[in-house]
């Protein structure tokens, strides 16, 4: 599969019919799925819950326009509303649900000529770190089918890694774009909170959720972000400020770039292979003119605990709307309204969603609100202040591992929530502080991809892309293994 720019260029110059890239994407999608969509099981990747059929693709007509990505096939995580496909959030409670409106990011992609080929599998309501919590079965890692893809945007990461599409949309609440990008060996970016509209993104934790992008390369991620970024009056958290040219630093090198390396992210919990690949990436940057500076983010130790209090509390509030009254699954066999709520939610929600609703409801209970939620918000402020201090000291970007380990085996952590949550330990800080962050492949350990994470100040996507382009360039196509 060609990249975003090369695909769009070939269509624009008449080298290929505008529908041809999408026909190829759909054919590969179904070849790798091996069975009916949305049922799980089998030997396929199970990356998609809904998609165009081969018959649909054969008659596909891409409207004439001068869009910058006309003819580019794109996959969309199934927690963003679409008119052409159901939106299930990977949950039985929304099985078959077709929303009456379309997410702003989806509309912007279509206005620029992209073809949405399908909706990708995810942890139910984006709650998970492995895409094993989907009601429709887990997604298999294209690199090794015995391994997880990471989560919760595992389907989108797999779709790009398997060469089905050059780019895809995911959502990132605590690392749900960057961590699967690391596990699958692709690029994954979470923009600054407020840079991209959340209108039409089904809410998990509203103060943390952000639409992100996957690409086979840094340029692919930049090209997709360029299309979806910008103010949206329908989203109260969308910020009205100029969108820079994210490709402007494409030819920049590492010369003079000041890279902060936080000691807290290179502790004993870091896998040895991940440590080696990340140190090699830093050495490569330094050899090409970057200045590496050790820094400290001392309140990182509180980040994961604060995140899981805030995220579950907001989930408890947001998911109260799924009650069987207005849309989705409704079990009306009970004798009264309360029993209908209980039966609907018992049947409709999976175990992990129930766990987080219970935890969040407890954290918001009268008498415990300040003890848990209030303290978590104060810890969040400390985490953000740490980043501000480091960037104010002259650091351009911060480099960390994306995840402590490579992709772990399917089933290894599903019965151990704490170990599962620890997969997010390096990514949740960016969401708590509202910062832009990107995961870039930095090598291979034991045959599995390793991702390095770069973080920049708020609204610093241009700087972030400069560093990401430089990292990708200095590493080149040569990746080492243990």
Number of domains in the chain: 1
77 is catalytic: yes
- Report the distance separating Cα 90 and Cα 399, nearest Å: 32
**Cβ-Cβ contacts under 8 Å for 291 (sequence gap 6 or more):** 256, 257, 258, 259
176 is catalytic: yes
3-state secondary structure of 116: strand
The β-bridge relationship of strands 291-295 and 258-262 is parallel
- Report the distance separating Cα 73 and Cα 70, nearest Å: 9
Answer positive or negative: Cα dihedral of 159, 164, 170, 175: positive
- Report the distance separating Cα 426 and Cα 178, nearest Å: 10
Does residue 192 sit within a domain?
yes
Does residue 361 sit within a domain?
no
The model's pTM is 0.97
Q: Angle between the 461-475 and 218-228 helix axes, to the nearest 10 degrees?
A: 160
Does residue 237 sit within a domain?
yes
Quick one: tokens of 142?
Answer: 């294209």
Residue 480 has a pLDDT of: 54
Q: Phi first, then psi: give them for residue 150, nearest 5 degrees.
A: 85, 175
Does residue 148 sit within a domain?
yes
Residue 40 has a pLDDT of: 72
**Cβ-Cβ contacts under 8 Å for 137 (sequence gap 6 or more):** 39, 40, 41, 46, 121
Does residue 319 sit within a domain?
no
CATH of the domain at 458: 3.90.1300.10
Q: Which of 130, 152, 171, 403 is catalytic?
A: 152
Taking 3-state DSSP, the helix, strand and coil percentages for the chain, each rounded to the nearest 5, stand at: 40, 15, 45
Does residue 104 sit within a domain?
yes
Does residue 482 sit within a domain?
no
Q: What averages of pLDDT result for each successive group of 10 residues across the chain (482 residues)? A: 95 97 97 83 87 97 95 98 98 96 98 98 98 97 98 98 98 98 98 98 98 98 98 98 92 94 95 98 98 98 97 97 90 83 93 97 91 96 98 98 98 94 96 98 98 98 97 76 60
CB burial of 120-155 (b: ≥16 within 10 Å; e: otherwise) equals: bbbbbbbbbbbbbbbbbbbbbbbbbeebbbbbbbbb
Residue 36 has a pLDDT of: 83
Q: From residue 456, give the alpha-carbon distance in Å to each of 190, 287, 465.
A: 11, 21, 9
Residue 482 has a pLDDT of: 59
Please name the helix (run of DSSP H) or strand (run of DSSP E) that holds residue 26, with its range, or none: helix 20-33
Quick one: tokens of 399?
Answer: 């480099």
- Report the distance separating Cα 71 and Cα 20, nearest Å: 8
For the sheet containing 211-215, what is the strand order? 48-51, 115-120, 73-77, 167-171, 211-215, 187-190, 437-445, 448-455, 397-401, 258-262, 291-295
- Domain around 404: 4-260+397-475
Residue 337 has a pLDDT of: 87
Q: From residue 133, give the alpha-carbon distance in Å to each of 19, 274, 464.
A: 34, 26, 31
Q: Which of 153, 156, 171, 176 is catalytic?
A: 176
Q: What beta strand segments (E) does 108-250 contain?
A: 115-120, 167-171, 187-190, 211-215
119 is catalytic: no
Q: Is 26 left (phi over 0), alpha (psi -120 to 50) or beta?
A: alpha
Does residue 47 sit within a domain?
yes
* Residue 186: other Cβ atoms inside 10 A: 29
């Amino acid at each position: 599969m060609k990249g975003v720019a090369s695909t769009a260029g070939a269509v624009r110059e008449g080298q290929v019919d505008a529908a041809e890239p999408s026909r190829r994407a759909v054919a590969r999608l179904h070849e790798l799925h091996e069975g009916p969509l949305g049922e799980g099981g089998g030997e396929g990747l199970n990356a998609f819950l809904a998609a165009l059929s081969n018959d649909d693709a054969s008659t596909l007509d891409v409207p004439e326009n001068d869009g910058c990505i006309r003819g580019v096939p794109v996959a969309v995580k199934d927690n963003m509303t679409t008119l052409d496909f159901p939106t299930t959030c990977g949950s039985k409670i929304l099985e078959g649900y077709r929303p009456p409106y379309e997410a702003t990011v989806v509309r912007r992609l279509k206005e620029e000529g992209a073809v949405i080929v399908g909706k990708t599998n995810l942890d139910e309501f984006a709650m998970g770190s492995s895409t094993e919590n989907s009601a429709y079965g887990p997604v298999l890692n294209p690199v090794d089918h015995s391994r997880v893809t990471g989560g919760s945007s595992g389907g989108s990461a797999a779709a790009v890694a398997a060469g089905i599409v050059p780019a895809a949309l995911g959502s990132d609440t605590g690392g749900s774009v960057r961590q699967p990008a690391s596990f699958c060996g692709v690029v994954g970016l979470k923009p600054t909170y407020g840079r991209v509209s959340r209108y039409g993104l089904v809410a998990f934790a509203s103060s943390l959720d952000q639409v992100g992008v996957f690409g086979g390369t840094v340029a692919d991620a930049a090209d997709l972000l360029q299309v979806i970024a910008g103010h949206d009056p329908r989203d109260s958290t969308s910020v009205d400020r100029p969108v820079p040219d994210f490709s402007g630093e494409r030819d920049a090198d590492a010369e003079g770039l000041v890279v902060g390396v936080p000691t807290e992210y290179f502790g004993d919990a870091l896998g040895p292979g991940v440590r080696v690949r990340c140190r090699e990436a830093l050495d490569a940057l330094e050899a090409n003119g970057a200045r590496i500076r050790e820094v400290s983010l001392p309140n990182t130790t509180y980040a994961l605990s604060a995140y899981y209090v805030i995220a579950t509390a907001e989930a408890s509030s947001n998911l109260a709307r799924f009650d069987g009254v207005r849309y989705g699954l409704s079990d009306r066999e009970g004798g009264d309204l309360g029993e209908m709520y209980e039966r609907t939610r018992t049947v409709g929600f999976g175990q992990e969603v129930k766990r987080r609703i219970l935890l969040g409801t407890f954290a918001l209970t009268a008498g415990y609100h300040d003890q848990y939620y209030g303290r978590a918000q104060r810890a969040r402020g400390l985490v953000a202040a740490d980043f501000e201090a480091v960037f104010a000291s002259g650091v351009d970007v911060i480099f960390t591992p994306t995840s402590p380990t490579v992709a772990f085996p399917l089933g290894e952590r599903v019965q151990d929530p704490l170990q599962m949550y620890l997969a997010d330990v390096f990514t949740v800080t960016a969401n708590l502080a509202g910062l832009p962050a990107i995961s870039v492949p930095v090598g291979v350990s034991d045959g599995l991809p390793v991702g390095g994470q770069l973080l920049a100040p708020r609204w610093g996507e241009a700087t972030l892309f400069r560093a990401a382009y430089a990292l990708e360039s200095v590493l080149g196509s040569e990746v080492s293994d243990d």
